[in-house]
Structure 1
Amino acid sequence: MPAFVGGLASQPMDTRPQYDPTPAARYDLAASLAHELKGTGVASNVVSPGAVLVEATKELVTRISPARGWGDMWEEIRPNAVSALIPNDQERFGEPDEMAAAVAYLCGGYAQYVSGATIRAGGGLKVSRAAFCARRNGEPGPRAVRDTEPASKITEIHDHETLAA
């Protein structure tokens, strides 16, 4: 079984331009380190988690819920918060054990051929700055862009600039 070098890196959002370059650099570092470690039996990979439901996340979402009209009970708040803040294909927050499972996969025998990779464990989340800001302000805004969409369909990503038609 190969040794594992890696880390966790949040998924980039344009609302944090001062922070996002750091975790983004981890992706390139994992790939560069994988090439450097060629022949050693050590793999270098990254797990990039989406919004994970930990106590701090639940407290924050519950605190901002009244101003957003998401409900009073967690059973009401959760789906509304997911829809408004982190729309994703799974329609929920991730769980800590799901992130741990991604790391465990990379450390296990089934990932012996995986090297220089980034596993995006975000439920299919990728929200543009314009869409995030619009949702934050309660406006419909441009649509969220999912990880699974081909580049030819990605439009209106950043302040209505068209990157690909």
Structure 2
Amino acid sequence: MAEAAVHPAEPEDIDQIARIQVETWRAAYTSLLPEEVLAGLDQAEIAEVWQETVKQGNATVYVATEGTWTVGFCAAGPAPDTEIADVDGKLPEDADMVGVIATLLVEPRWGRRGHGGRLLATAASGLRAIGLSRGVVWVPENDDVSIAFYERAGWERDGMVRTLDAGGRPLREIRLTGELNLRLT
């Protein structure tokens, strides 16, 4: 087995991050997103967004590799109020101690090899290093694999649900939360 690692994203990682997002969404989200949305994903446009995030975004982007292959990525940073407020807009008492996992994707063909766990552990460590103690993540409510992944890390559903417009189709997401001292099992 080739060596697996995680490192903060560099500008030369951007094209691979965009490729992973497009390929993973097209493979894993066919039941969640309309076909025209998936077909319309523009890798070059997505790369521009990630370029800005890596250069000056509020999140830190991490990249997972196995040997010479880039196999996944994660973006994490302090949680904006909109990510942690309750249904009435009220913030939790620990709002200034909460980070968000904005995205965590591993190409399906590289799944079940520990890359997701390494990415989450590295992101959690980075969030702890800036003084945060709890994290949140929003996951499509029908994405059983991702929900189970976060639950194995000790995170729990907190009862919050939101509905996004996914190309004219509603996409319901649930929020999970947990301590940043992970217990990956």
TM-score where L is the length of structure 1:
0.25
Higher relative contact order (CA 8 A, sep 6+): 1
Q: Which has the larger radius of gyration?
A: 1
Which has the larger share of strand? 2
